Amino acid sequence: MSHSTDDPRYPVRKPDAQWRQALGEIEYQVTRKAATERAFTGRFWDHWEGGHYDCVCCGTRLFHSKTKFDAGCGWPSYWEPVNDQVIEALPDRSHGMVRVEVRCRQCGAHLGHVFEDGPHPTGLRYCINSASLSFTAQPAGQAAESTPADNTPTPTPGTGSAP
């Protein structure tokens, strides 16, 4: 069997009671107990804002919105993590299936599973529980779309007195 989510190999560890206190019920059950949120119930399956998704437990940046796609499965899906250092992949034979579990490599949080039916360029589908993630919108200025800087008051011509 795979090691537990509070295995000593993870750099970020907290006593179970602290996780329980720090996290909401669903976040705790998913990340620390490997539960799965019900499809189409999470915050992010239909969330398309630009930004990045971090581990809800330790804040490690895991996925970028650029790699998010609609897999139609009811969970947020990504074809690639921000890099291959942030994710741990483990064989998972629970529920009579052979799957690959993915966890946060920093704190061992259960995130979801990775499947090999994703889109190009990786062909992978990281099927992640919304409850394992927190979202940070792209900072202003890095936004791909318009950056209107027209909020500065324009000097009204004619009112300035010229001697």
Alpha helices in 9-129 (DSSP H): 16-22, 25-33
Site for Zn ion in 86-105 (CB under 5 A): 104
The answer to whether residues 76 and 88 touch, using CB atoms and an 8 Å cutoff, is: no
- Nearer to Zn ion by C-beta: 31 or 77? 31
Rounded Cα distance between 52 and 70, Å, is: 16
By CB under 5 A, tell whether 62 contacts Zn ion.
Answer: no
Residue window 115-134: x/- pattern of binding to Zn ion, with contact defined by CB under 5 A:
--------------------
Q: Which is nearer to Zn ion, 4 or 142 (CB)?
A: 4
Q: What is the DSSP letter of 32?
A: H
Q: Is 127 a catalytic residue?
A: yes
**Phi, psi torsion values for 88, nearest 5 degrees:** -110, 130
Terminal alpha carbon distance of the chain: 87
Q: Which of 106, 129, 130, 132 binds Zn ion (CB under 5 A)?
A: 106
Report the residue from 23, 30, 34, 58 that binds Zn ion according to the rule CB under 5 A: 58
Binding piece for Zn ion, criterion CB under 5 A, among 19-27, 54-62, 69-77, 155-163 = 54-62
Q: Is 42 or 108 the residue whose CB approaches Zn ion more closely? A: 108
Query: Residues with Cβ < 8 Å from 8, sequence gap 6 or more?
Result: none
Q: CA 55 to CA 44: how far, in whole Å?
A: 13
- Polymer length of the chain: 163
User: Nearer to Zn ion by C-beta: 55 or 127?
Assistant: 55
Q: Which residues bind Zn ion (CB under 5 A)?
A: 55, 57-58, 60, 104, 106-107, 109
Q: Return the active site residues.
A: 127
